[in-house]
Amino acid sequence: MVNDVSELARLAALAHEGAFGWAVRRVHVVPECGSTQDVAKSLLAEGDAEGMVVVAGRQTAGRGRLGRAWVDECGLGVAATFIVDAGPGAPFLSLAAGVAAHRAAQVALPQSVRLGLRWPNDVVEAGGPRRKVSGVLVEVTGTTALVGIGINVKQEAADWPGELVERAVSLSQLGSAWSRAQVVDALASMLSMSLARPAHELASAWLRLDTLVGTERMFEHNGSRVSGTVVGIDPLARITLRTPGGEELHLPTLTTSLVHD
């Protein structure tokens, strides 16, 4: 089990020096926690925490979008929550975080390995089995947002629970030699850049990385499931789906869930 947080703790000095950009000014490292989202909430309740990122050496009860779990009990990945101004709200922040996570993961890999985005903000392999590398959870409280980002970094095949062996992959498995600290460093810088971009530029960047359009997928909305061909995605508004019967449906992105195979 990896629980040495010294490499992560060194990032605090870089944040103090302004190395990560305007959005990340402080780094708070915890050796172990249930969820970095919960630690961030506690820090926020205690006072001014905007501009802080909470990073865990080991996260035992991480959670993802729509109640899903984020598994990293071995402390081999990055578990981080950024405390930022909510600004335009959750859809914009989700988009910015997805693009930032993609860039941080992509720069850690050999040029021959390409990653894409699976709506709304999962970073996945661009081809083959499209295993998941990273996920995002955005929770808005008043005028502040908690942007949780998990990235698989050092896991090997034997580290995954049986049900995730064919659905998850780490940067190491894809050929990266980067440490967790290097990934957090890149992620903090990329998120600052993404948050500074206008929504239309982020949407264009996201669309260039999309992996769903043209594929047959199943979605869940309001407790009902529907299948069809993904015709188009507006990441800030809707998913357009054509059913086998030819009907065109528009599903709101904020409350629609992709049903995984």
pLDDT at residue 14, as a whole number? 64
- Please report, to the nearest 10 degrees, the dihedral formed by the alpha carbons of residues 240, 166, 126, 243 taken in order: -20
pLDDT tens digits in sequence order for the chain, 261 residues long: 344 567 777 776 666 666 677 678 888 999 899 999 999 999 999 987 888 999 998 888 766 554 455 666 678 999 999 999 998 888 889 999 999 999 999 999 999 999 999 988 899 999 888 999 999 999 998 899 999 999 999 999 999 888 888 999 999 999 999 999 999 989 999 999 999 999 999 999 999 999 999 999 999 999 999 999 999 999 888 999 999 999 999 999 878 889 876
- Residue 41, token pair as written in the block: 């909430």
8 A C-beta contact, residue 208 and residue 229: no
Cβ pair 153, 183 in contact under 8 A: yes
Rounded Cα distance, 174 and 155, in Å: 10
Under 8 Å between Cβ of 238 and 251: yes
**Which amino acid is it at 213?**
V
Closest CA to 48 of 137, 138, 143: 143
- What's the one-letter identity of residue 64? G
Q: How far is CA 125 from each of CA 30, 102, 167, rounded to the nearest angstrom?
A: 30, 10, 10
| Strands ordered across the beta sheet of 238-242 | 248-252, 238-242, 224-234, 216-221, 256-259
Q: Are 201 and 238 in contact (CB under 8 A)?
A: no
What's the CA gap between 174 and 113, in Å, rounded? 7
Cis geometry, peptide bond prior to residue 235 (ω within 30 degrees of 0): no
Q: Are 14 and 184 in contact (CB under 8 A)?
A: no
Query: Residue 142: left if φ>0, alpha if ψ -120 to 50, beta else—which one?
Result: left
**pTM value?**
0.90
- The pLDDT score that the predictor gives to residue 84 is 94
Q: Which two tokens stand for residue 103?
A: 């860039």
Contact 6, 75 (CB under 8 A): no
Residue among 65, 71, 151 nearest 104 (CA): 151
CA atoms within 13 A on the CB side of 39: 26
